[in-house]
Structure 1
């Protein structure tokens, strides 16, 4: 029996270049993955940037649109106010509006309707302008009451420091209005709604507050408010009194 030689027992030799080729192939595969990952990151960054820019552009466009809408509303309210002043001025001259005291007078009916409609369409600042106008034209003076302000919407008007003394404001809705420092002496505020109004430092000397709603109003440092006036008020619930105490 023939014995195997040493050459027959040796394992077959591996090609000397095999491990290096594998390393190179592995490095190439890794580089491909890195390249794909880099491309993916760049694509995501590009998409994110475009989305951000598109969102920013939409936001800027919406802000511009809102600004235009706000400007249009401001211009509309200013036009409404000016039209009212022009019409009432014309009625004062041509229709002798100050002499129209009867509720059935056509000129008075038209003026009342126009006043009610105009107040309801104005913002707080322009309500103040309108109030000054009708005060200066003596349409709500106690001596010559022409306009009926019953339930007229003068709420949230910015009337700080206004001088509307000796006026007839019976039944007006002035809730939430800013009347700090206002001069309201001798004003008739019967059944007037002043709930939540700011009347701090207001002059209330000789005001008629019969059945006036002052719930939640700020009366801190208001002057001229007597116990007799307070007794006539319909509601003071939650109001801050002149001395700073809160009425229960």
Structure 2
């Protein structure tokens, strides 16, 4: 009986499957899959971790740059306001305490100081604040044809945002207003002799009865502008203008 039990037990043990059989191939495939699946998962986790850190670092750098740019912009705005306010305060002081409007001689210390301050301020201000400064000197009559105080010869008013501004009856001789936005501006009876208006936008501007002897109009937009009774305007100047469409010419005709 013992011999029969031993034989039966051995017969019941599973015999190894030859490697070439389907069962052998499945076992070998399962082992091969397990051998590279875990390292692959680990690799993918590492890549994900690295990419996450890179994205976070990039976002942090972008946020830092944006913060720095915002701070720089705020600092520039504050600097611009300081320049403008300092000018307004100093000129106001000259107007009140030194009777600046009564100064006519070029050698007068108050006038020399005012000219220097004006030249410096315009050269340092942005287009919007140049407009604010221009309104101030107009309102205080420092550039009025009746009381010319400031000398704007070669003063940098270029690219100023002066759309719709009313600075009629002013003395702007020799000023550099190239590239300025003067659309719809009122410049009637203004002295613009030797003024640089090259590339300026004067669309629908009112230049009625202004003096434009030797005014630089190269590339200027005069579409719809009122040039009626303008003096000193030559065909050579008009030939260099970018557009005269719909402009009222000095003789009252409308340019087509």
Normalised by the length of structure 1, the TM-score is 0.87
Contact 1:189–1:210 (8 Å) recurs in 2: yes
> Which of residues 243, 250, 256 in structure 2 aligns to 1:240?
243
Contact 2:210–2:231 (8 Å) recurs in 1: no
> Which of residues 151, 167, 174 in structure 1 aligns to 2:170?
167
Q: Which moved more, 1:28-37 or 1:101-110?
A: 28-37
Contact 1:212–1:235 (8 Å) recurs in 2: no
Contact 1:194–1:214 (8 Å) recurs in 2: yes
Contact 2:209–2:230 (8 Å) recurs in 1: no
> Which of residues 199, 202, 210 in structure 2 aligns to 1:199?
202
Q: Which runs of 5+ in 1 are unaligned?
A: 1-14
Contact 1:177–1:197 (8 Å) recurs in 2: yes
CA distance in 1, matches of 2:235, 2:150: 25
Match for residue 80 of structure 2? 77
Correspondence 1:43-62 to 2 at 5 A: 43-62=46-65
CA distance in 2, matches of 1:107, 1:172: 21
> Which of residues 184, 188, 209 in structure 2 aligns to 1:185?
188
Contact 1:120–1:154 (8 Å) recurs in 2: yes
* Cα offset, 1:29, TM superposition: 2.8
Q: Is 2:155 aligned against 1:148?
A: no
Match for residue 64 of structure 1? 67
CA distance in 1, matches of 2:196, 2:48: 60
Q: Is 2:39 aligned against 1:39?
A: no
Task: Encode CA deviations 1:70-104: one digit per residue, 9 max, x unaligned.
Answer: 01100110111011111100000111111111111
> Which of residues 123, 131, 134 in structure 2 aligns to 1:131?
134
Give runs of ≥4 in structure 1 deviating > 4 Å: 20-23, 226-229, 232-236
Q: Which moved more, 1:156-165 or 1:17-26?
A: 17-26
Match for residue 10 of structure 1? none
Change (3 A) 1:214 1:203: same
Q: Which runs of 5+ in 2 are unaligned?
A: 1-14, 248-254
* Cα offset, 1:243, TM superposition: 2.5
* Cα offset, 1:134, TM superposition: 0.2
Aligned-residue CA RMSD (Å): 2.0
Match for residue 107 of structure 1? 110
* Cα offset, 1:232, TM superposition: 7.5
